[in-house]
Amino acid sequence: MSTQQENSLRLALLEQIQSLVTAGLGLVAALAWNQAIQDFFKRFFPDQGSLTAKFVYALFVTALVVFITNKLGKAISALKLKVK
């Protein structure tokens, strides 16, 4: 195997490891945020088993995800325009 092939293989391996680590840490962050948001809602909805509390929580999380995804999409689009 040539040096260029070895470097290409190392690069592919490191990129895959980076993707897996990023996904794993993203999951950890998501779980931490989930717990924080749940604790926040426990203050306003002491009865966590109620259907209303579950729907309010689900709607809040959905709105938050849509907002963040939208902002990230706009930032990426703006950056792509600058790069071109």
The rounded radius of gyration (Å) of the Cα atoms in the chain is 20
Where do we find the tokens 């990129």? Answer: 15
pTM of the model: 0.58
Q: What is the pLDDT of residue 63?
A: 92
Task: Dump pLDDT digits (tens) for 3-45.
Answer: 888 888 888 899 999 999 999 999 999 899 888 888 888 887 7
Nearest to 64 by CA among 43, 39, 33: 33
Where are the domains positioned within the chain? 1-44, 46-84
Is the pLDDT confidence value at 48 over 70? no
Give the DSSP letter string of 27-68.
HHHHHHHHHHHHHHHHHH-S-TTSHHHHHHHHHHHHHHHHHH
